[in-house]
Amino acid sequence: MRVTVVTLFPELFGTFAEVSFVGRARTQGTLVLETKNPRDHGLGKHKSVDDTPYGGGSGMVMRVDVLTAALEAVDAAAAAPAHRVLLTPQGAPFSQSSAKALSEKEHVVLVCGRYEGFDERVRSFVHEEISLGDFVMTGGEVAAMAIIESTVRLLKGVLGNPESTHEESHQGSLLEYSQYTRPAEFRGLGVPDVLKEGHHLKIAAHRKSEREERTQARRPDLYARYLQTKPPEKPKKAKRPNKAQAAKKGDE
Ligand SMILES: C[S@@+](CC[C@H](N)C(=O)[O-])C[C@H]1O[C@@H](n2cnc3c(N)ncnc32)[C@H](O)[C@@H]1O
C-alpha cells in the first residue's frame, strides 16, 4: 500500500515513519509512506498556499489551485490515480470499518488542512472526507497519523500475530475482554481464577460474556447493534434421564 500525506509540515512524519508497526511495514515493503508539501506549488515569491476568505471572516483559507496542483503532481508521479481523502472535522467519523476500507486501497492520499481549513471547492477534487472526531485540531497531521496507524496494522504481514485483531475492540460490535499479566496479585487486585486454570473452553466462555457485559455497560449503542446481528441462541436440549432416574419415575 502507498500513502501520500499532503502536508505543510512533512517533518512531523519523520520519527512516525521510523518506529513500531509503521516502521516495520516500510522496512518489509508492505507500506510506502511519503509526503507532498503543497508549498512546492505555492504562489509568488513567498510560495503562498493560503489567502483571505471572500466575504471576510477570521483567519486564512487554503487555496484550491495550490492544493489541486499538489494532488495532480501526486497522481502524475504514480502508476494510477490515488484515492483522495480530505481530513476535516466536517467529514464522516473515522472508524475501524473506514480503516479496513482504506487498507484495501492501492494508494491513499491524505490531505491535511491548516489555518481555517480549505476553500470549499477543494471538496470537488477528493473522493471522501474523514473526521477523527467531534473536536477541532489546528491541522490534519495528527488525524493522518491516526488513520495510517489503524490502517497499516490491518495490512497482511504487519502484525506478528494476525489473530490479535480478531477479537479487538471495534473489529465487530463488541469491545475486547479484560487482559491481565504478571504479577497475579498487585496491591490487593487479583486476576480472575478462570484465567489461571488453563481450561480453554471456560476461558473462551468467560471472555465472551465479559465482552458482552462491558460493551453493554460502556457502549450501549454498540451493544444494541450486536444484539441485532447476534445469531439466536440454540435452545438447550432437555437431558435424557439416566436409567436410575427413569426407573424411579416409573415407581412414582
Ligand atoms: C483549525 S482546523 C479548521 C476547522 C474549520 N474551520 C471548521 O470549522 O471546519 C484546520 C485543519 O485541521 C484539520 N482538522 C481539525 N480537526 C480535525 C478533525 N477532527 N478531524 C480531521 N481533521 C481535522 C483539518 O484538516 C482542518 O482543515
Residue-wise pLDDT tens digits, 10-38: 999 999 999 999 999 999 999 999 999 99
Q: For residue 136, give the 3-state DSSP assignment.
A: coil
- Largest alpha-carbon pair distance within the chain? 105
- Looking at residue 250, its pLDDT comes to 61
Does ligand 1 lie within 6 Å of residue 53's CB atom? no
Pocket lining: 140 vs ligand 1, CB cutoff 6 Å: yes
Out of 3-12, 124-133, 197-206, 236-245, which region has the weakest mean confidence (pLDDT)?
Answer: 236-245
State the DSSP code for 43. Answer: B
Specify the range with the lowest mean pLDDT, choosing from 23-32, 117-126, 145-154, 236-245: 236-245
Atom of ligand 1 nearest to the CA of 90: 9
Side-chain-side CA neighbours of 234 within 13 Å: the count stands at 3
Q: Which position has the grid cell 473462551?
A: 204
CATH of 167-231 among 2.40.40.20, 1.10.1270.20, 3.90.1300.10, 1.10.3720.10: 1.10.1270.20
If you search the block for the grid coordinates 434421564, which residue do you land on? Answer: 241
> What are the cell numbers at 42?
505555492
The CATH number corresponding to 2-152 among 3.40.718.10, 3.40.1280.10, 2.20.25.90, 3.30.70.270 equals 3.40.1280.10
Q: For the chain, give every domain's residue range.
A: 2-152, 167-231
The yes-or-no verdict on residue 235 having pLDDT over 90 is no
Does ligand 1 come within 6 angstroms of the Cβ of 129? no
CA–CA separation, 173 vs 222, rounded Å? 6
Across residues 108-125, what is the average pLDDT? 98
Measuring from atom 6 of ligand 1, which residue has the nearest CA?
116
- Residues 183-195 have pLDDT tens digits of 999 999 999 999 9
Higher pLDDT, 250 or 227: 227
Establish whether residue 87 lines the binding site of ligand 1, counting it when its CB lies within 6 angstroms of any ligand atom: yes
Pairing status of strand 83-93 against strand 128-131: parallel
User: Could you give the C-alpha distances from 189 to 21, 38, 100, 194, 217, in angstroms and in order?
Assistant: 32, 53, 37, 15, 21
Q: What is the DSSP letter of 9?
A: -
3-state secondary structure of 134: coil
63 C-alpha to center of ligand 1: Å?
Answer: 15
Whose C-alpha lies nearest to ligand 1, atom 2?
A: 138
Q: Is 146 in the pocket of ligand 1 (CB under 6 A)?
A: no
The answer, yes or no, to whether residue 44 has pLDDT greater than 80, is yes
| Confidence check: pLDDT of 240 > 90 | no
pLDDT band at 230 (very low <50, low <70, confident <90, very high): confident
Q: What DSSP line would sit under 198-231, residue for residue? A: --HHHHHHHHHHHHHHHHHHH-HHHHHHHHHHSP
Pocket test for ligand 1, best of 87, 112, 122 (most atoms within 8 A of CB): 87
Return the bridge partners of 1, or none: none
- pLDDT band at residue 80 using 50, 70 and 90 as cut-offs: very high
pLDDT at 144: 98
Q: What average pLDDT does the chain have?
A: 93
